[in-house]
Structure 1
């Protein structure tokens, strides 16, 4: 359901084609990468960095422009318009809102410019490609981890993602595929759930504080949809002397999350090879610029929220648990080193000695 990454498969495919495409793209070509926000450091430090790096390797003559909308949908739309005005030949968009961002893909299509939905789906008939892992399986793995580390009758809290992020709903559906039967049978008790607009950890913290108050601290598991929410839940539980006694899931395996895992405070995180996602986006972009097929990368077809068929580039993923999971992520994520993780309190853990 949530398998270990097939290391090197995508990278090998892209390397094999790089020689073919590097000489073809024109110096007049330009591609725009539209980031959603800077609350989560991954967008600039991992996804954008990987995309820019691979573009420089396989099509160094192509101009790459990176925009960040800082969680404002109107800003993201203006940035897309700016990119098109500047002559963008391809848009790679991580939408803030999967519905309202349809105008970006639609406007681009009117100018003959293709749109790639990166990480989050864009609900437009003009979305050509989607690059992402199986987020339903991601949510299911989060929930299963918490279930496996709680017992019959235990009360669970669900800290969901941003309601405007299409992935958040899919993650939640994956979680509930595991949890709903247990809630129905009484094997686990549904204690509290709330969404987190903009994936803002401050909002997640308020939600967790409310959950603890409403439940009189009777919480035995937290199904958190990402690492920001997980950190917020842990901070709230620390004030109640509960941190480290409650399993907490996450997503992205940030450096902070891995430190919390080594300290036994966060117990799981879903990891995706963000560098491979960035590389895949670059490869698809260059294929588009050169009117070449990318069927070997987009091996599946999915339907988005408006029923349009979208070519899907699947990225595999890994459910990291404890120190073993941290070791796996460090080994496979080029953006994270052991020295980065072994800082602060984490430095004193057995893993870092």
Structure 2
């Protein structure tokens, strides 16, 4: 998908609220990219880097300013206000909270500035475009993987995402679509579940420790909503001698997650072509600046939680399992190389030899 877009990444790490200028920028036009946090390295190292790279290629005279709110909704709102004051003509926002971020889209609309929701939906009637993969299907794939690798009567733990992230609820709904009938019939047992505010791995670790304590280590599967949660669960199980014996799902296919997959400790991760997502967002942004049509990119329409229609740019996803899944991600993700994955303990695996 979006094969016409360049896939090279700008190798850079952004500081919070840092201004990054596309090559040959004249500063006649400025757009703002608002990141939610730096707990997950993907936002700066993959999404923002790919957005900047594509903007530099297709609109070199456009200045791009990148902000990081560090999981503070009030900070993100202030950063949006700052961007508008500085003359931003498009806001591309990865919201911390789909509800409170509506203020950002509404404020921008009052000034005639369009808002693009990237990755996470913004529940405002003024959200014009949403760029994302099918997160319901992603959650269903996570759950199905764990079900396929457990047996009748086995006990599962669900480590859900951040309760303020709209994606977390959709991912969980996908998981429940697979798991609820099995819980109802007794084919699987719901042992423990908890949300993870801010997608903070430290909170996920405490949840997994609590689960193991409450269940006396009687856990046969972990349905984790992302790689951070998965890594935390694996750390907790490592202390109990259980890591590598329990299927664990994830999302994002970070380098650490792929290393854990090669070691057999994390067994699945949902992968999205973040470079394509960011490139598509950049393409839409430039069309907005030019006042030209972007319906060839936003090929669908979805409703946000407020019941408002939003043009939707769909992106593919892939359920990566084991070494074969790692090979697929390395082949298709320009931000990750085999050398990056084959470090530390993972270097001794057959895949890295």
State the TM-score bracket (shorter-chain normalisation): over 0.9
Q: What are the ranges of 5 or more consecutive residues in structure 1 without an aligned counterpart?
A: 1-8, 16-24
Deviation at 1:26, TM superposition (A): 7.9
Deviation at 1:241, TM superposition (A): 0.5
- Equivalent pairs counted in the alignment come to 336
> The residue matched to 1:173 in structure 2 has which SS?
helix
Match in the other structure for 2:62? 62
Match in the other structure for 2:346? 346
For residues 135 and 329 of structure 1, the distance between their equivalents in structure 2, rounded to whole angstroms, comes to 18
> The residue matched to 1:11 in structure 2 has which SS?
coil
Deviation at 1:11, TM superposition (A): 2.6
Match in the other structure for 2:2? 10
Are the equivalent residues in 1 in contact too, given 2:26–2:63 (CA < 8 A)? no
Are the equivalent residues in 1 in contact too, given 2:93–2:118 (CA < 8 A)? yes
For residues 202 and 73 of structure 2, the distance between their equivalents in structure 1, rounded to whole angstroms, comes to 20
Matches within 5 A, 1:131-146: 131-146=131-146
Which runs of at least 4 in structure 1 moved beyond 2 Å after TM superposition? none
Matches within 5 A, 1:155-194: 155-194=155-194
For residues 307 and 28 of structure 2, the distance between their equivalents in structure 1, rounded to whole angstroms, comes to 35
For residues 312 and 278 of structure 1, the distance between their equivalents in structure 2, rounded to whole angstroms, comes to 14
Structure with the larger RCO, 1 or 2 (CA within 8 Å, 6+ apart):
1
Q: What are the ranges of 5 or more consecutive residues in structure 2 without an aligned counterpart?
A: 7-24
For residues 26 and 266 of structure 2, the distance between their equivalents in structure 1, rounded to whole angstroms, comes to 47
Match in the other structure for 1:107? 107
Q: Does 1:288 align with 2:285?
A: no
CA deviation map 1:169-227 (0-9, x unaligned): 00000000000000000000010000000000000000000000000000000000000
> The residue matched to 2:339 in structure 1 has which SS?
helix
For residues 350 and 63 of structure 1, the distance between their equivalents in structure 2, rounded to whole angstroms, comes to 45
For residues 320 and 342 of structure 2, the distance between their equivalents in structure 1, rounded to whole angstroms, comes to 17
Match in the other structure for 2:308? 308
Deviation at 1:28, TM superposition (A): 1.1
Match in the other structure for 2:10? none
TM-score (norm 1): 0.94
CA deviation map 1:232-284 (0-9, x unaligned): 00000000010000000000000000000000000000000000011000000
